[in-house]
A = this chain, B = another copy of it.
Amino acid sequence: MTTASTPTWPGAFGAEPRRKRRALSRELIVETALKIVDTEGLDALNMRRVAQELGTGAASLYAHVANKDELLALLLDRVYGDLGHPEPDPDRWREQAKEFLRQQRDNLVSHGDLARAAMIQNIPTSPGGLDAAETMLALLRAGGLPEQVCAYAVDVISLYVVATALEESSRKKPGGQTDERQVEAYIGGVRSFFSSLPAERYPLIVAMAGALTRNVGDERFEFGLDLLFDGLVAQAGRTFD
């Protein structure tokens, strides 16, 4: 059931941290799980760890959350729920859409490698995910694109955002803050790997090692966005059936 009974909260907030019976709730569990993902990464997230953080046992969580998959879905829903939903303006739809997607990506990368969970869950079924899809569809429709083009496009685009977020997050240790040194070291490692390959077999990869690992701010992400929207506009005249 989605409606958890309202949690009782006896006494002042945080007054008795070690009272025997803590007041658990979906929200508290999701909050705690998100904190773990933020600081230690998705791999460190397990039911026992969440329970430990709440000073209880894993079994207690199952009164509020069906299973780990549902917990992950709730995490994603929470992250997608943090998005602002602009009013579509036909004159600015493209920039609005790009801004919306930037926000979506930033939200994801700010929560460790949570994007990895989003990658598996391909079709949005949670309120937050549906809200995001609805907003994106509205922006595309505001651009005057045909219905079927919008339908196909919304899939490709959100896929790109999630995948980019995943790639971005994989460059950072689960530690947390954007240590520029860390990212640079990772990129450098990949570049030297490409450079070290046999040039007879991989001439282009070797020659383009620099271009392939270029990492200047959000240039890569922005390139993909422009590519997608240019392609989208070019496909606008396409007919179906």
Q: Does A232 contact B (CB under 8 A)?
A: yes
Q: What distance in Å separates the Cβ of A120 from its nearest Cβ neighbour in chain B?
A: 7
Chain A contact residues: helix, strand, loop or mixed: helix
A212 to B136, CA, bound (A): 13
Q: Are B116 and A120 in contact (CB under 8 A)?
A: yes
Closest chain B residue to A224, Cβ basis: B156
Question: Could you say which residues of chain B place their CB within 8 Å of the CB of A201?
Answer: 130-131, 134
Q: What distance in Å separates the Cβ of A143 from its nearest Cβ neighbour in chain B?
A: 13
Question: Could you say which residues of chain B place their CB within 8 Å of the CB of A232?
Answer: 227, 231
- Interface residue total, chain A, C-beta cutoff 8 A: 56
Q: What distance in Å separates the Cβ of A44 from its nearest Cβ neighbour in chain B?
A: 16
Q: What are 28 sample pairs from A and B whose C-beta atoms fall under 8 A apart?
A: A116-B120, A119-B120, A119-B163, A122-B170, A123-B190, A131-B201, A134-B203, A134-B205, A137-B204, A137-B205, A138-B204, A141-B204, A147-B208, A151-B208, A151-B211, A151-B214, A152-B223, A152-B224, A152-B227, A154-B212, A156-B160, A219-B240, A227-B231, A227-B232, A227-B235, A228-B228, A230-B234, A231-B231
8 Å CB contact of A202 from B134, B204, B212, B230? B134
Closest chain B residue to A141, Cβ basis: B204
